[in-house]
Chains A and B, each alone.
Chain A
Amino acid sequence: MATTELMLQLEVEQQLSTDVSSINEILAEAVMFLNDGTVTVTEIAVQKLGGVFGNNIAIPIDDSPTGYVTLRLFTGGENEVDFFAPSSVPSPPVQFGQAVLLELRDAGFTAPQNVLQVARRLGAHVYFQET
């Protein structure tokens, strides 16, 4: 049976006005539908640039240096298998892959005054095969 090499990438780049004192969590998802084949995840990676800083004092206060990335593989009904970044080792094969969902998360912050500045990029990619 033929093997299809697939890729899924998602990146969020966020900048906020310094008037904003409460920074919401980042949650973003990307989804691709599959053909009920056997799925092997060959690489899943996450990277982050920038973060949350004290306004005008450049003190980094971001406590989430990488963000958090999960690849959710749905295999029918309510069944799913989750893979966490980073990994560059092939996963065990999973049968009946119906869809993959790449989920990015990064922390939110709240300050009593407008003392935060935010410039952050969070990106993830996954390479996988469907047979």
Chain B
Amino acid sequence: MDILIKGPGEVTVCLVDRAGRTMLRETLRVFGSQTVSARRPIELELTTSNGKMPVSPVLVFRGEQQTVTFDGKEPAAFTRHRCKEIGCTDKEAEAVARGEIHHLPRDAPTRSSFASLARP
């Protein structure tokens, strides 16, 4: 799937499983002219120790000057459709499309861990 961003600023997207748990969080920052665009292709399937896991993208944040599409579609509509594909109920899909997701678990690296991860 392609995340397409038009306009300068910052966009955050999470990939969530059917329970709404965040498996991946990405922030894309693009700056240049007012007409700058960015593209980020992502896989909608992740591998875990239990095998392949289908995931759905969720737009968590975008800049005021930006428009974002998922494969050319409005993000919430894409998320709703994809969530149903991976096994969410209608109610769960609606909640995820509104951005109601479980963020990364406590043991996952966070932004502050860039500085705190121990080196040998």
Contact = CB atoms under 8 A, between A and B. Distances in A.
SS class of chain A's interface: helix, strand, loop or mixed? strand
Interface string B45-60: 0111100000000000
A50 B114 contact: yes
A114 B110 contact: no
A58 interface: yes
A7 B107 CA distance: 38
A8 B36 contact: yes
A13 B26 contact: yes
B107 to A, nearest CB: 6
B7 to A, nearest CB: 11
B27 A30 contact: no
A32 interface: yes
Interface stretch (B16-24, B65-73, B74-82, B92-100): B16-24
Which one of A7, A17, A18 has the greatest number of beta carbons of chain B within 10 Å? Answer: A17
Contacts of A30: 30, 32, 36-39
A21 interface: yes
B43 to A, nearest CB: 5
Contacts of B118: 58
Interface in A1-33: 6-22, 24, 27-33
Contacts of B110: 15, 119
A16 B109 CA distance: 7
Contacts of B32: 6-9, 30, 32
A28 B3 CA distance: 10
B108 A18 contact: yes
A110 B114 CA distance: 21
